[in-house]
Structure 1
Amino acid sequence: MSKLKSEIENHLLNHILPFWINLKDEQNGGFFGKVNYDLTVNKEADKGGIAASRFLWSFSAAYRVTKRPEYLECAHHAYSFLVEKIYDHEHQGLFWQVDYKGNPVEDQKHVYTQSFGVYALSEYYLITKSEEALQYANKIFNLIETIGFDKDNNAYKEEFDREWNELPNEKLSENGVVAEITTNTHLHVLEAYTNLYKASAEEVVKERLTNLIEIFYEKIYDKDTKFLNVFFDKHWNSLLHLKSFGHDIEASWLIDDALNVLGLEDERFVQMVIDIAYNIADAAILEDGSLANEQHNDDVDLTRIWWVQAEAMVGFHNAYERTNDEKFLTLVNGLWEYTKNNIVDYRDGGEWYWSVEPDGKPTERAVGEPWKTPYHNSRFCLEMMERIENK
């Protein structure tokens, strides 16, 4: 295990984070919005609200674990951009997207974006004890709870305009449906509230986080198949026969993280966490050790996506910690070998490819953009460094 830890730590410090540090925009704030597949940087690309939050979380967490001053400096830089440009001081909340100078270009407010703001600001508070940062996190938490939550059906809403009028959920729907409720948004609200509770220990956050775990168990998790449903109408009816393997294994460890933070040892929830991990191990691990992307009806998408591999490694390691089943360590090692040999981009100035096609070739897609930031793979590294160290 120590060899695995040292490999991952070295990869984070010398490969992943240097790539993103080099994208720091000293002139306009934040980080450059796009790195093309050929590794050229578009310094005038738009900057996403989700991406800005993920940069803040990544460098804050990296500093918390390593205490390296360059990460703290990047966290301060990311924080300034988030509160000055991504936060809407007129109507509150975080914009979906701004231009490279920080002017809003897509001013919608999405609960998914807000959740990442809470996640990132809480992490920044943990390393700085900045009361201002915690106040922003709580402001966004209150927006989500007062405007973004539907008490009638116990569900978080999705998309709003700048002034917080509800819109159809165009931003976070796919596969030909427009979903009024998504598992993805609920998962990242849960992740955000877990971090906010670590930061604030407020009773109201504890209550809302506990409710979210109940939502997963009662509404999202299919107790017969052990999969999570993905898209729902406003009455919690599933809209598609879709299995998102990456989200399921990510949910397994994020729910468990919430249970640990709350000190909640409810057998129903613990069993759900374990059953999801075994199910994804059986359903989605491929012969080369990687994890497939998703399945829609009978059609399995065999694209190996960067974040799916990263989250699977944390999810299976968490399952090992829960069960002591060596099978999960074998899966982690197989995923890491696959990732090192296929997903990691060893070109000069590269990071990780977006994905690898079923034929084994890297997908020619941007390697830095509003959906691809240091968050997933730096978190994998940091989680593994901490978990192996604590053993």
Structure 2
Amino acid sequence: MRAEVQEELERNILPYWMEKVTDHEQGGYYGRIDGYDKVHPEAEKGAILNARILWTFSAAYRLLGKKEYLLAAQRALGYILKNFTDPQYGGVFWSLNTDGSVRDAKKQTYAIGFMIYGLSEYVRATGDETVLETAIGLYTCLEEHAFDKRNIGYIEALKRNWEPIPDMRLSDKDENASRTMNTHLHVIEAYTNLYRVWPASRLVQSIHTLLHIFKTNIIHPETYHLDLFFNDSWEGKRNIQSFGHDIEASWLLYETALVLGEKKVLEEITPIIQKIAHAAMEGVRKDGSMIYEKWTDTGHVDEQRQWWVMCENIIGNLNFYQHFGDEDALRRAFACWLFTKEKLIDHKNGEWFWSIGPDGFVNRAEDKAGFWKCPYHNSRMCFEVMERFSDK
């Protein structure tokens, strides 16, 4: 499997982004390539896409040492520093027009978290102290402006000047909630990576706070699924089970505990993440795939097999096998990889399709590359397999 994912990474995923998504006219990378591989040069350029491209090629360079990956990372970095960072108020803009001018200046905590994730990975790969200072600056912005000290949590979004904003949604598919699981998951992911290059005591405290938030407010005390949307006081409907987020959280939270290296934290989080991983398996189907979501109040089930959910299912099960010796988890990871190879990877034109419907048909209505379709999930799955099983 390790050899297969490295081949997939280096012959299919990374070349697609270097060859087809690079914007040679306006700089950086295109904002969109649709499900039929048509480039849309007029598409807006999102902070999340650019941060994830930076992370992907930084990690590729760190692990594989090839100069073309460093150059791709530097292309993303240069564009981000020139266009996305806000020189007046700090933080990063949500989206840009194709010419690099600001399209939406709001400060979305999720996007800033991913910028920290990408910048810190670049520092891991290169040791660049200037980039580290930029990452620390973004961390400081979040702690000063987005952290709610009264209710203990990170505000979903704010205006450019960090004032309250009426519409805090991450996307049209989300509820307009002031607290979300998704943002907190990716902030702790970013802070964990930043800790690897900057183990400051204040960052450690922030990570401890985030772990407490997950244990106290986000993880359902009975089902161990993650609840998704909340108000300022952490009250929510608790009616959606997102299996991909469950399994992703199981390994990301465990990784946080491992990186911190604190025995007490690891002992506390281990039984919790085991229960989260078991809860996530409710979304696994006989063909090895994992479905998207279930609404517990209506019984509606979204049977789409989305590309990112497959990736997180593979990593989460490999994590469970690696650290807890669960042979069934290893079999589940292999089964999901086989499904992914057969159904989701575009072996002809490169990259992966967004999803496969329950009818087995490819979803081409969604992008191959775009605001939410990035190289992060599938490349990270490859990296995780390569790093975890390098001698097997």
Shorter-chain-normalised TM-score: which range? over 0.9
* Correspondence for 1:273: 273
Deviation readout 1:351-371 (Å, 9 max, x if unpaired): 100111110101122111111
* Correspondence for 2:358: 358
Aligned partners of 1:315, 1:153: CA distance in 2, in Å?
31
1:41 partner SS: coil
**Runs ≥4 residues deviating over 4 A:** 173-176
* 1:202 counterpart (200, 203, 211): 200
Q: Which stretch shifts more, 260-269 or 366-375?
A: 260-269
The AA in structure 2 aligned to 1:109 is K
* 2:179 counterpart (178, 181, 184): 181
Unmatched 5+ stretches in structure 2: none
* Correspondence for 1:251: 249
Q: Is the 8 A contact 1:158 1:169 kept in 2?
A: no
Deviation readout 1:121-163 (Å, 9 max, x if unpaired): 1011111211111111011100100100001111100111111
TM-score normalised by L of structure 2: 0.96
Deviation readout 1:196-245 (Å, 9 max, x if unpaired): 10011111111111111111111111121111111111111122401111
Deviation readout 1:48-106 (Å, 9 max, x if unpaired): 01111001000000111111110001111110001101111122111111011211111
Aligned partners of 2:228, 2:13: CA distance in 1, in Å?
30
* Correspondence for 1:379: 380
Aligned partners of 1:201, 1:268: CA distance in 2, in Å?
21
Q: Is the 8 A contact 1:159 1:168 kept in 2?
A: no
Aligned partners of 1:95, 1:138: CA distance in 2, in Å?
17
1:65 aligns with 2:66: no
* Correspondence for 1:112: 110
Mapping for residues 220-299 of structure 1, pairs under 5 Å: 220-265=218-263, 266=265, 267-281=267-281, 283-297=282-296, 298-299=299-300
Aligned partners of 1:70, 1:176: CA distance in 2, in Å?
37
* Correspondence for 2:322: 321
The AA in structure 2 aligned to 1:268 is E
Q: What is the Cα deviation at residue 264 of structure 1?
A: 2.6
Q: What is the Cα deviation at residue 312 of structure 1?
A: 1.0
Aligned partners of 2:56, 2:94: CA distance in 1, in Å?
19
1:43 aligns with 2:44: no
Q: What is the Cα deviation at residue 172 of structure 1?
A: 2.1
* Correspondence for 2:2: 5
2:63 partner SS: helix
1:97 aligns with 2:98: no
Aligned partners of 1:294, 1:358: CA distance in 2, in Å?
13
1:34 partner SS: coil
Q: Is the 8 A contact 2:62 2:125 kept in 1?
A: yes
Q: Is the 8 A contact 1:51 1:373 kept in 2?
A: yes
TM-score normalised by L of structure 1: 0.96
2:389 partner SS: helix
The AA in structure 2 aligned to 1:279 is A
Q: Is the 8 A contact 2:169 2:177 kept in 1?
A: no
1:384 partner SS: helix
After superposition, the Cα gap between the structure-2 partners of 1:368 and 1:342, relative to the gap in structure 1 and judged at 3 Å, is same
Mapping for residues 305-320 of structure 1, pairs under 5 Å: 305-320=306-321
* Correspondence for 1:21: 18
The AA in structure 2 aligned to 1:339 is T
Q: What is the Cα deviation at residue 274 of structure 1?
A: 1.2
Aligned partners of 1:44, 1:174: CA distance in 2, in Å?
21
1:295 partner SS: strand
Aligned partners of 1:182, 1:58: CA distance in 2, in Å?
25
Q: What is the Cα deviation at residue 43 of structure 1?
A: 1.9
After superposition, the Cα gap between the structure-2 partners of 1:175 and 1:13, relative to the gap in structure 1 and judged at 3 Å, is closer
Q: Is the 8 A contact 2:195 2:204 kept in 1?
A: yes
Q: What is the Cα deviation at residue 175 of structure 1?
A: 6.0
The AA in structure 1 aligned to 2:288 is G
Deviation readout 1:273-325 (Å, 9 max, x if unpaired): 111112212x1101111001011121111000010101111111111122101
The AA in structure 2 aligned to 1:361 is F
Unmatched 5+ stretches in structure 1: none
The AA in structure 2 aligned to 1:154 is I
Q: Is the 8 A contact 1:39 1:350 kept in 2?
A: no
1:147 partner SS: helix
* Correspondence for 1:135: 133
Structure 1 vs Structure 2 CA RMSD? 1.3
* Correspondence for 1:166: 164
